[in-house]
Structure 1
Amino acid sequence: MNKSDLIDAMAADAGISKAAAKAALESLTENVTKTLKKGDKVALVGWGTWSISKRAARTGRNPQTGKSIQIAAKNVVKFKAGAGLSDAVN
């Protein structure tokens, strides 16, 4: 399912227009992004939790040349599924 399919499904399930469903989905993604950027967690009880984890700088290897390269430190997004979501897919 891609973003367009999700918008169509949301509109049909909620009985709203596709424009309203698109606005709701974009609002959700923007607010999750803003919250994670601040370093906070986003938790939807029963569905899951998004959080930020810091990945340290490290030395890697270019597989084409075999030379060592420095990989910069960065923040990565983690998602942990909640019990409701895990039960629903199993």
Structure 2
Amino acid sequence: MNKSDLIDAIATDAGISKTAAKAALESVTNNVTSTLKDGGKVSLIGWGTWSVSKRPARDGRNPQTGATIKIAAKNVVKFKPGAGLSDAVN
């Protein structure tokens, strides 16, 4: 499922226009992104939790040459599925 398929599904399920469904989906994604960018966490009970984790700088290795390289520190987004989502998938 891609973004346009999701917009179609939201519009059908909620009985709203595709324009309204697109606006709602963009609002959700923008708010989740904004919260994570500010270092917060987003929890949807029964579905899952997004959080940001800091990955420290480290030394790596170029597999072609064997040379040591520096890998910069960065923030990564993590998702932990909730019990409801896990049960639905299994």
Task: State the one-letter code of the partner of 1:16.
Answer: I
Whether 2:2 is the aligned partner of 1:6: answer no
Q: Which moved more, 1:31-40 or 1:61-70?
A: 61-70
Whether 2:76 is the aligned partner of 1:76: answer yes
Q: Which residue of 1 aligns with 2:32?
A: 32
Task: State the one-letter code of the partner of 1:53.
Answer: S
CA distance, structure 1, for counterparts of residue 6 and residue 62 of structure 2: 38
Whether 2:56 is the aligned partner of 1:56: answer yes
Q: CA RMSD in A?
A: 0.7
Following TM superposition, by how much is the alpha carbon of 1:65 offset from its aligned partner in structure 2, in angstroms?
A: 1.8
In structure 2, runs of 5+ residues without a counterpart are none
Q: How many residues align?
A: 90
CA distance, structure 2, for counterparts of residue 12 and residue 41 of structure 1: 30
Q: Report the TM-score, using the length of structure 2 for normalisation.
A: 0.97
Following TM superposition, by how much is the alpha carbon of 1:62 offset from its aligned partner in structure 2, in angstroms?
A: 1.1
Q: Which residue of 1 aligns with 2:15?
A: 15
In structure 1, runs of 5+ residues without a counterpart are none
Secondary structure of the corresponding residue to residue 39 of structure 2? coil
Q: Report the TM-score, using the length of structure 1 for normalisation.
A: 0.97
Task: State the one-letter code of the partner of 1:30.
Answer: N
